[in-house]
Chains A and B, each alone.
Chain A
């Protein structure tokens, strides 16, 4: 059974600081997704990581994938308040049929 674990589940940080969210998954997968969710809102796609060693960056967010370690990271550089949200990682198994989600990391960035 594919399991996805995120940590930390809750993160409170000051503006300007750097931090990393980790996503581990239990079986082989070649597709990992990062989403952002604001309270009461839908799921906004941030990154799609499709191969080992993939690295993608958008503004202050950078995501990477190590398929051998079954680990993805979401790094936040010089955090700003607008990045406060819940961040989810999700992984497809060996088919397009079921996307398994981590529990989410609630990020609060204080001015």
Chain B
């Protein structure tokens, strides 16, 4: 079965630093997403991306966050100035339309110190 690939699997950073989380969605999928999950809590929607632009974003996705699909394969989430409360597992996902199956990557555990 095809996979969504995320790197790194773990990222430790100091508060105020910028981080970039990387994802390679499945190649023929059209919709891409970032979600996050704080330890022990529910999964939260951050942003969806379609046709090379943001289609919807949540209240969490403020000016500190940005997404890019720079080269047609990678899909990145940037946090410009990390806060302690950004510590979470971040999941990338892509949607196989028609079948309507949503594939998740293995996640990046971000720890902000």
Cα–Cα, bound, A50→B99 (Å): 9
Are B43 and A45 interface neighbours, CB within 8 A?
A: no
A57 to chain B, nearest CB (A): 17
B interface residues, how many (CB within 8 angstroms): 24
| A-B CB contacts (within 8 Å), total count | 54
Closest residue on chain B to residue A104 by CB atoms = B42
Query: CB < 8 Å: which of A31, A95, A99, A102 contacts B33?
Result: A99
Give the residues in chain A near B82, CB-CB below 8 Å.
none
Interface of B is mostly: strand
Cα–Cα, bound, A90→B91 (Å): 15
Are A48 and B101 interface neighbours, CB within 8 A?
A: yes
B89 to chain A, nearest CB (A): 8
B69 to chain A, nearest CB (A): 16
B25 at the binding interface (Cβ < 8 Å): no
B91 to chain A, nearest CB (A): 7
Give the residues in chain B near A18, CB-CB below 8 Å.
none
- Partner-binding segment picked from B11-19, B48-56, B70-78: B48-56
Please, could you name 6 A-B residue pairs with CB atoms under 8 Å apart, sorted by A?
A42-B91, A45-B101, A48-B99, A48-B100, A96-B55, A98-B48
**Chain B: residues with CB nearer than 8 A to chain A?**
31, 33, 35, 42-45, 48, 50, 55-56, 58, 91, 95, 97, 99-107
- Nearest 8 pairs of A and B residues by beta carbon: A97-B56, A101-B43, A97-B48, A43-B104, A97-B55, A42-B106, A103-B42, A96-B31
